[in-house]
Chain A
Amino acid sequence: MAELEQADANKTEYAFATWKGTKVVNLQTNELPGKGVLQYTILHRFGAFNDDFFYNFMGLDNAQVRLTLDYSPTSWLNVGLGHTGFRKTYDVFAKYRLLRQSKGARKMPVSVTGFSSAYYSAIRVSDGVDRTFGRRMSYVHELVIARKFSQNFSAQIVPTLIHSNLTNRAADNNTQIAVGIAARYKITPMHAITVEYVPVLNPNQYPDLSADPLALPMNVPYSNFTNALSVGIDIETGGHVFQLFVTNARGVAEPFAFTQTDGSWLDGDLHFGFNISRVFTVSN
């Protein structure tokens, strides 16, 4: 048997299933659906716990919804389309594997995956600002650096760049940088606990508006933005991954979740949410 085992040392073994899904909650993971796989996801963020929770049927009556459809033409590239109700936003995205964690002949401590997306907000606005095509666009780029530490524990750090061509105020940063962190622990082969935090390094600060509430346009929230923190559970059932979680981020699409979250965990301004994915193998 020892003679047989010698052979295996020269092979490269790649890490797989670092995460169950392609997203943690709002952040991307390093995972891509396999080659030839079509993936459909349905994402919901319910109304806040502290906003007439039972009257609003536990937040369901004012849920934010996002739908995406993506496809992997190769094992290293995934491309897709999405739609989000908030600001009638349409998006296109691409996700691409750059490095894969491996051991054996070729050693690599982490997996690195890039994600880039562009969002077009189609909402009708009559505030006098000419919404040209360019002004309706925003962009997000994530660089997911992930490591599967053991069969059960994985973690990742995600430097993220969010750019909006049009901001609420002239003084706002068009480009914001966030450094997301996330981890998961598998409690059974099919269940995992996940946690995700996305601190923005240069958030847009708003002055105290109690003195002059008319100083800003109507659609600007009268509070400073907070960082998105989410805690959830992943449940995998064959071709589906169900992700159920609690988050302070109401926005479902990346730019809204990362830079326009105004809920706070301390105030109970939290939302129940879920991401559900379904995969179909359409070609080999």
Chain B
Amino acid sequence: MSQAQKVSTRSGFVKFFSDAPVEDITAENNQVSSILNLEDGSFAFLVPIKAFQFEKALMQEHFNENYMESGKFPSASFKGSIADYTKIDLSKDAKYTLQFKGTMTVHGESQEITKEVILVVKGGKVSVQAEFLLKCSDYGIEIPTAKKDNISNEISVTVKFEYA
């Protein structure tokens, strides 16, 4: 019974966007896995860093090699729960605006975060969507002074999971 209350995906979507004076950088990842427990609201996702696709091959290489050091830190993760969770009714289509709260780990550094998430129930299926900002400096990702105009310290992150 408890197994049936867990929904998961292996093809979740994460996008990030950096808005800096010289250039905008965006990358997308369709290989994110996530689990949501509908019984108690516990929520986790795992983002394989090397699966981010960039417009320019060299940007992708520098992202992995120089900034995220994906050889050392192959994935980013979130582990926590949806705050003030009350069990949702899957038989009714609805949209809930909630908070999720827990430990975000990027580049080997962990931070406690609380962000807003929209949870949608449609036809008995659950999906979540969130947009939030993360700071490179909070996660030990150094941007050299010469690159400050190319890469923003504040990165806008979008996550979208459609659970089966």
Contacts and interface: CB of A to CB of B under 8 A. Distances in A.
A1 B58 contact: no
B45 A8 contact: no
A189 interface: yes
Contacts of B64: 16-17
A17 B34 CA distance: 29
A151 B71 contact: yes
Interface stretch (B111-119, B132-140, B143-151): B143-151
Contacts, number: 63
Contacts of A125: none
Nearest to A72: B57
Interface residues of A, number: 25
Interface string A1-39: 101110110010100110000000000000001110100
Interface stretch (B48-56, B81-89, B93-101): B48-56
Contacts of B56: 34, 37, 281
A1 B55 contact: no
B48 A8 contact: yes
Contacts of A8: 46, 48, 74-75
Contacts of A238: 58, 62, 147, 150
A178 to B, nearest CB: 29
Contacts of B35: 3-4
Interface of B: 8, 10, 33-35, 44-46, 48, 50, 55-58, 61-62, 64-67, 69, 71-72, 74-75, 77, 79, 144, 146-147, 150
Interface of A: 1, 3-5, 7-8, 11, 13, 16-17, 33-35, 37, 150-151, 189-190, 236-239, 279, 281, 284
